[in-house]
Amino acid sequence: MGVRKLTSFNCPFYAQWELLLYSVTVTMSTMTWHSLAASSVALREWKRPIVITALLLGAFAIVDASLFLQTPFVSSEVRFADASPGGFLIVPASCPSSPSNSDYPHNTCSATCPNGLNINQYPSCTCPGGQVQSGSQCVCPSGQTWNGSQCIATSGGCTAQYFCASGASCTGSGDTLCYRNAACSASVIFNPCQFGCSGGACNGAPAPVIDITVNPSLIRRGETTHVIWNASFVSSCTVTEDNSSVSDAWSCSTQSSCAASHDNLSSALSERTTYVLSCTGLNGSQVTDSAILNIIPIFQET
Amino acid sequence: MVYSVSMRVILAVLFVCVVVAGSGRSGELLEGMHTSFERVVLSLFPSSERAYQYGARHFSSHNAAAYDPDTALAFFLTSAALDARHPFAVHEIARLYFLKGDFAQALSYSNIQVRYHGAAYPNAYYVRGLIKGFMGDYDGARRDYEEYLRSDVTNWAALNDYAWVLLKAGRANAAAIATARGLTHFPQNPWLLNSRAIALAELGQLREARDAARDAVRASMQLTEEEWLIAYPGNDPRVAAQGILTLQESTRRNLGAVNGR
């Protein structure tokens, strides 16, 4: 009886020695209990085994009744119904509270996809974006890859992508930006990338570099000077001055024209003048530089 | 003579065993001995997992003879004392305190479970949401239910309880959406139907609310004790009928209230 009861617990943690110990405990408990009762009556009144049996039955009945009359445990959930703002009665449940399927498996309260898909991953139980079912998962059919929202063709074994190559043939490595589609057909996007190609994209323009000088920077009143200016990685430049008596101004408006070295002769100057070079870089930034021309002072003895 | 006495005693014992076994109460009698045996084994060979398994046996709605929340709690506390990082011992302690109505204790243990095992076992969040809901912290409960529902998107009880705390927070529209989501997979679930009827009634959609309330009454009348125990694991199987009555009375009152509007 003890063994049958034990196996009905379906507990995997009982080792053989526990089974044996349990059997011994039950047997000894039973025998000790009955032996004590027997020793008090039967050993003295051994001719009356019916009395012994009756006494034992009585003891069992008392224990039995006490077990039978135990009050059921009424938890906080059993009679709980909460009132909504409108006075209706809401009844919460607690199905997923049991851990590790030790009591009722909590997944009995969750839906499962009839087709075996993982419903937590695919709540609609259908594969999205052209995917097909493979076990509990969805995958793209052979020859296609998942681009994040749908399966796209990878016929020819190619994945659509931009890459850096050399020349119009889009082979090897170089500064040409190319694009290869899923059908493995490549085409030139930029040839070459002006500032090189890396990581499947043209590199951005470097920061502009500009310089302006006046030569000579010290003249006598009424003389002229050379205004020399250079600019790299710029799309346009202007040179202006702050002398109200002259109107010197030069400019360039293309990357190539600005990249050349400029040497402009100033007007005749009679006072200190500042020349300012202002450029817009290919990367969109604004930069300025300046050069100052000074006039040799005239000293008069008094 | 000694032989003769022994034989009589053995015969008497056998007779008593047969009578007791035939009375149908042998399970309870053996259960007491079994529990004593568990205590002896645990004293001789302390083990967190063994204590947990013993506790789980006394906390199972499947085993009415063994069901005893106090004994289960003692075993789970022993399990946690032997290994504070046992994956479920603290979780079960929180559940037991919750079922006993000691929500403060339940919450403190639930917080520990979430901290150490929430990522691996998201139903720690569910239990904490339940406890917070019973304590009136509906916003905290909402966050925990949302966390749990990320890993179990179709769980009807989680969706129903989520709707409960949303309704308590005055967010009937969100509650209606949550219950609709659950009813997609469990169209005859009386708890979901009841909560949906309430959400719709709160939104003033009385016609739809009446239909849902009527369906809820009908579904609750067909509820079995086995189904109720699945919805409320860890409860004494002997109180399943009372639990069903609570739901049936609630659905009937709600139908009456909707009809009265």
> A162-168 — which CB contacts under 8 Å span 24+ positions?
A162/A189, A162/A200, A162/A201, A163/A200, A164/A193, A164/A197, A164/A198, A164/A199, A164/A200, A167/A191
> Which of residues 60 through 119 in chain A touch B, CB cutoff 8 A?
60, 63-64, 67-68, 72-82, 84-100, 102-104, 106-111, 119
For Cα atoms B134, B135, B136, give the angle at the middle one, nearest 5 degrees.
90
H helix or E strand, kind and range, residue A29: helix A16-41
- pLDDT, one tens digit per residue, over A194-234 is 889 998 899 988 999 999 999 999 999 999 999 999 999 99
Q: Do A103 and B30 touch (CB under 8 A)?
A: no
Measure CB to CB from residue B231 to each of A73, A95, A102 and give the nearest one.
Answer: A95
User: What is the distance, to the nearest Å, from the Cα of residue B217 to the centroid of all Cα atoms in its chain?
Assistant: 22
> Which of residues 124 through 183 in chain A touch B, CB cutoff 8 A?
none
pLDDT confidence of residue A59: 65
Q: Residue A175 and residue A167: Cα distance in Å, rounded?
A: 8
Going by pLDDT thresholds of 50, 70 and 90, the confidence category of residue B64 is confident
CB-side neighbour CA atoms (13 Å) of B179: 33
Q: Do B235 and A79 touch (CB under 8 A)?
A: no
Q: Which is more confident, A221 or A98?
A: A221
Q: Residue A229 and residue A210: Cα distance in Å, rounded?
A: 8
pLDDT confidence of residue A16: 45
**Alpha carbon separation from B25 to A66, A71, B61, B186 (Å, rounded):** 11, 16, 18, 39
> Is residue A9's pLDDT more than 50?
no
pLDDT confidence of residue A14: 41
Say if residues A146 and A131 touch (Cβ distance below 8 Å). Answer: yes
Say if residues A227 and A252 touch (Cβ distance below 8 Å). Answer: no
Chain A partners within 8 Å of B148 (Cβ)? 96
Cis status, amide bond into A216, omega within 30 of 0: yes
Percent of chain A with pLDDT over 70: 73
Say if residues B161 and B178 touch (Cβ distance below 8 Å). Answer: no
Q: Which of A294, A288, A296 lies closest to A212 in space, CA to CA?
A: A288
Give the A:B interface size as CB pairs under 8 Å. Answer: 272
Q: Does A23 touch chain B (CB under 8 A)?
A: no
Measure CB to CB from residue B157 to each of A64, A82, A96 and give the nearest one.
Answer: A96
Average pLDDT over residues A2-11: 32
Pairing of strands A286-295, A218-219: parallel
Q: In A193-214, which positions are buried (b, 16+ CB within 10 angstroms) versus exposed (e)?
A: beeebeeeebeebeebebebeb
Chain A partners within 8 Å of B243 (Cβ)? 77-79
State how far residue A121 is from chain B, nearest Cα, in angstroms: 9
> Is residue B225's pLDDT more than 70?
yes
Average pLDDT over residues B48-71: 92
> A111-117 — which CB contacts under 8 Å span 24+ positions?
A111/B154, A111/B156, A111/B185, A111/B186
Q: Which is more confident, B42 or A56?
A: B42
> CA-nearest residue of chain B to A60?
B20
State how far residue A145 is from chain B, nearest Cα, in angstroms: 27
- pLDDT, one tens digit per residue, over B85-143 is 999 999 999 999 999 999 999 999 999 999 999 999 999 999 999 999 999 999 999 99
Q: Give backbone dihedrals phi and psi of A170, rounded to 5 degrees, phi first.
A: 55, 45
H helix or E strand, kind and range, residue A259: helix A255-259
Q: How many CB atoms lie within 10 A of CB B252?
A: 16
What is the residue whose two structure tokens read 């060979």?
Answer: B45
Q: Do A75 and B33 touch (CB under 8 A)?
A: no
What residues pair up with A284 in beta bridges, in sequence order?
A: none
> CA-nearest residue of chain B to A17?
B41
Q: Residue B85 and residue A136: Cα distance in Å, rounded?
A: 32
Q: Residue B76 and residue B82: Cα distance in Å, rounded?
A: 10
The tokens of B27 are what?
């399970």
- Please give the full DSSP string across A214-230, using - where no structure is assigned: EESSEE-TTB--EEEEE
Complex confidence, ipTM: 0.88
Chain A partners within 8 Å of B41 (Cβ)? 18, 21
Measure CB to CB from residue B247 to each of A43, A91, A94 and give the nearest one.
Answer: A91
What residues pair up with A180 in beta bridges, in sequence order?
A: A161, A186
**A147 three-state secondary structure:** coil
H helix or E strand, kind and range, residue A240: strand A234-241
pLDDT confidence of residue A178: 92
Chain B partners within 8 Å of A78 (Cβ)? 232, 235, 239, 242-243, 246
In whole angstroms, how large is the CA radius of gyration of chain B?
Answer: 23
Going by pLDDT thresholds of 50, 70 and 90, the confidence category of residue A51 is low
State how far residue B144 is from chain A, nearest Cα, in angstroms: 13
Mean per-residue pLDDT of chain A: 79
Q: Residue A293 and residue A181: Cα distance in Å, rounded?
A: 60
> Which of residues 30 through 49 in chain B touch A, CB cutoff 8 A?
30-34, 36-37, 40-41, 49
What is the residue whose two structure tokens read 């009756």?
Answer: A54
Q: Residue A42 and residue A56: Cα distance in Å, rounded?
A: 11
Q: Residue B111 and residue B88: Cα distance in Å, rounded?
A: 13
Going by pLDDT thresholds of 50, 70 and 90, the confidence category of residue A36 is low
Chain B partners within 8 Å of A98 (Cβ)? 95, 123, 233-234
Chain B partners within 8 Å of A53 (Cβ)? 12, 15-16
Q: Residue A32 and residue A41: Cα distance in Å, rounded?
A: 14
Indicate whether this model's pTM tops 0.80: no
In whole angstroms, how large is the CA radius of gyration of chain A?
Answer: 49
Q: Which is more confident, A9 or A39?
A: A39
Among A34, A80, A90, the residue to mutate for chain B (most B Cβ within 10 A): A90
Q: Which of B133, B197, B141 lies closest to A86 in space, CA to CA?
A: B197
Lowest mean pLDDT among A146-150, B106-110, B170-174: A146-150
Q: Give backbone dihedrals phi and psi of A274, rounded to 5 degrees, phi first.
A: -110, 125
pLDDT confidence of residue A1: 31
Q: Do A97 and B191 touch (CB under 8 A)?
A: no
